A and B are shown apart, each in its own frame.
Chain A
Amino acid sequence: MLQGNQTWVFKSKPVIIGSSAIGGPFEAQGNLAEDFDILHSDIWLGQDSYEQAEQKILEEACETAIKKAGLQKEDIQFFLSGDLINQIMPSSFTARNLAIPYLGIYGACSSSMEGISLASLMIDSGFAQRALVGTSSHNAACEKQYRYPTEYGAQKPPTAQWTVTGAGAAVVAKEGQGPRIVASTVGRVIDMGLSDPFNMGAAMAPAAVDTIEAHFRDLNLTPAYYDLIATGDLGRVGHRIAADLLAQHGLAIPKEKLTDCGILMYKENQPVFAGGSGCACIATTTFGHFLNRMQKGELQRILVIATGALLSPMSYQQKETIPCIAYAVSIEM
């Protein structure tokens, strides 16, 4: 049901009956290592290219989520997936291997929650019984495509972020036990004229703020309603900007309640500059860490806001600025 301007409230509250988080070596040394189902010690996974390795990780995440849901591939009606590689190659090739009817999506680093929103919509409206949502990112593949060759000696500024190598997947269903998706706010594309691909946090913060405001406005709620409000990958820089911006707009969120997956992912001593980023950042944190905490009873209601920067290597070369988007998904136990 549409509520307000841009928020979907799912009356039937679709259930996440199984989810998975797969990570790489950096994530294995990070803060959330225990909430990953599988951690790889190298980024190649025995493949011949970074992109093929990313596809393998995504496939692994999907299969693990299906298994944890106690199902077979054949029980899933639709597969929604997106990633950062050109033409969402890992997603398409995973879809080929899974042989599940496929809807490829693209929201850059916000793809996971775009997928969850659409899957919930399908389930709530009776157009699906069980849908699989997946996303992935790979540090080397992302650097190679968006920035510089991985062995290239370009000095990164302190605002740069570290793309998570990993994948997250979730099976959303009409019936079952598990955390439930209550509502989802679809964001608008916001562009504040920033163009530095080494400073995504500042570019994405306004989009996160816009969607958060829309969410609370549409549902007539306040931040007090949620135990935790987490943005996807604003990193330390974007997180600070977003917090201040929200306060300036009269929607201050207490420090203990507002967090960011890019900050949570890694330890202080890891060389990740401003924090984690990439599709897998919010996906692995949510489908692993947050859902685990909810199952343990530590969290009852959370709001996750996936943020994405919709630039391409070409748009940057053509001197375009970076348009960004954010999707907010409300999950309750």
Chain B
Amino acid sequence: MLNNKQQDKAAIQKQYQDFASAREPKRPIALNCIRAFIGGGIICTIGQGIQWFFINYFNFDEKTAGDPTVAVLIMISVLLTSLGVYDHIAQWAGAGSAVPVTGFANTIASASLDNKSEGFVLGVGGNMFKIAGPVIVFGVFSAFIVAIIKVIITSIGGM
């Protein structure tokens, strides 16, 4: 339970936050969504194209073409990150470049590059997963929970 003084302080802070918020430029949400749609759509279409390429020119089928496609997209993303271009694309495309797997590769490449000055072992090795780490940790943990639940349900005789 907040006492009177804390309640006053909280009220003053809230008053200021509203005051400030009214004077700030708002994020152009609609415009950002349109850009994200276009940027993400383009990257996924490129992915589709690469997949088509692997299916038709190499001996891959729908199922197995996924791996080399992802690998190629990652290579492209790392290259663009190293050239200093990916962050400019991202400022325009927002989630359109962060959500595809290219964004994942960008987090790893950018963290590696920036921490090169601290050496390869502690700098690059130790910091590579600064932003990608949460994705891997939560991906694995949630996959673990989901899989366990499904296995249990299946063995009881469900799905």
Contacts and interface: CB of A to CB of B under 8 A. Distances in A.
A256 interface: no
Contacts of A152: 87, 90, 106-107, 110-111, 131
Interface in A216-268: 237, 240-241, 244-245
Contacts of A199: 24
Interface stretch (B13-21, B56-64, B139-147): B13-21
Nearest to B14: A193
A153 B97 contact: yes
Q: Is the interface of B mostly helix, strand, loop or mixed?
A: helix
A199 B118 CA distance: 29
A151 B24 contact: no
Contacts of B117: 48-52
* Most B CB within 10 A of own CB, among A51, A148, A155: A155
A153 B24 contact: no
Contacts of B41: none
Contacts of A205: 20
Given A149-B113, A152-B87, A245-B19, A159 B94 contact: no
Given A153-B89, A241-B20, A158 B25 contact: yes
B48 interface: no
Contact of A153 (B12, B21, B106): B106
A2 interface: no
22 contacts: A48-B117, A149-B111, A151-B113, A152-B90, A152-B106, A152-B111, A153-B91, A153-B98, A153-B103, A155-B91, A155-B95, A156-B91, A157-B27, A159-B25, A192-B12, A192-B16, A192-B20, A193-B10, A193-B16, A202-B24, A237-B23, A237-B24
Interface of A: 48-52, 140, 144, 148-159, 192-194, 199, 202, 205-206, 237, 240-241, 244-245, 274
